[in-house]
């Protein structure tokens, strides 16, 4: 059956059967359709209206949320832009600060090195003086020892001639005690 046949049936029926268009059938169905639509509108009017109001409110809330997020993102963007603009200044100030710290540390190291150098010089002078005194004392002790040895020999020879050996031993004891006392100083 083609579209022309369907239109022909609706308009006047079939030319073969000889029937006309059934207005009563179409009218009943049209009235049923109108009543059904009226009943649906009557009962569904408030729920549909409420659904549309709720939907509008939900969409409005989501739009407001989106605007808030957009504004928040815009603020963050501006904040980060300001930070990026100031980063050169911050880097420069950090470089200056680090340079100043380095110079302070360098000055402190030089100051400590100079103090240590002075201490080492003073200790070296003291050590030299002490060693000089020790050497002088040792030389004096050796000179005294040699002088005593020479004197002892001279005295022994002269006393041997005179024959008094006890005096020689006593003199040697005295000389050795003197020598011992000098080595203690």
Do the beta carbons of residue 8 and residue 14 sit within 8 Å? yes
Q: Which residues constitute the domain of residue 18?
A: 3-184
The alpha carbon of residue 53 and the mean position of all alpha carbons in its chain are separated, in whole angstroms, by: 55
What's the whole-number average pLDDT of the chain?
83
pLDDT at 19: 63
Distance from C-alpha of 89 to C-alpha of 40, rounded to nearest angstrom: 72
pLDDT at 85: 82
pLDDT at 144: 79
Q: Could you read off the pLDDT of 128-179 as tens digits, one per residue?
A: 999 999 888 888 888 878 887 887 788 777 766 665 666 667 777 777 777 7
Distance from C-alpha of 59 to C-alpha of 107, rounded to nearest angstrom: 69
Do the beta carbons of residue 149 and residue 107 sit within 8 Å? no
pLDDT at 92: 85
Q: What is the pTM of this model?
A: 0.36
pLDDT at 15: 44
The SS3 assignment for 57 reads: helix
Q: How many structural domains is the chain composed of? A: 1
Averaged pLDDT, 13-22: 60
Do the beta carbons of residue 15 and residue 8 sit within 8 Å? yes
Q: Indicate whether 5 pLDDT > 60.
A: no
The continuous run of DSSP H or E covering 162 comes out as helix 23-162
**Any residues with CB less than 8 A from the CB of 145 and at least 6 apart, and which?**
179
């Amino acid at each position: 059956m083609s579209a022309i046949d369907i239109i022909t049936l609706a308009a006047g029926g079939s030319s073969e059967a000889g029937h006309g268009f059934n207005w009563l059938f179409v009218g009943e169905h049209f009235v049923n359709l109108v009543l059904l639509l009226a009943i649906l509108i009557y009962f569904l009017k408030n729920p549909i209206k409420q659904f549309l109001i709720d939907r509008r409110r939900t969409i409005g809330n989501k739009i407001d949320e989106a605007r808030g997020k957009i504004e928040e993102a815009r603020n963050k963007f501006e904040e980060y832009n300001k930070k990026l603009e100031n980063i050169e200044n911050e880097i420069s100030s950090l470089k200056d600060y680090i340079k100043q710290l380095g110079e302070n540390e360098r000055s402190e190291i030089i100051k400590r090195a100079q103090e240590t150098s002075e201490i080492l010089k003073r200790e070296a002078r003291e050590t030299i003086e002490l060693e000089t005194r020790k050497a002088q004392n040792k030389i004096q002790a050796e000179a005294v020892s040699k002088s005593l040895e020479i004197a002892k020999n001279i005295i022994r020879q002269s006393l041997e001639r005179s024959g008094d050996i006890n005096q020689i031993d006593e003199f040697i004891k005295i000389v050795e005690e003197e020598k011992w006392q000098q080595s203690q100083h």
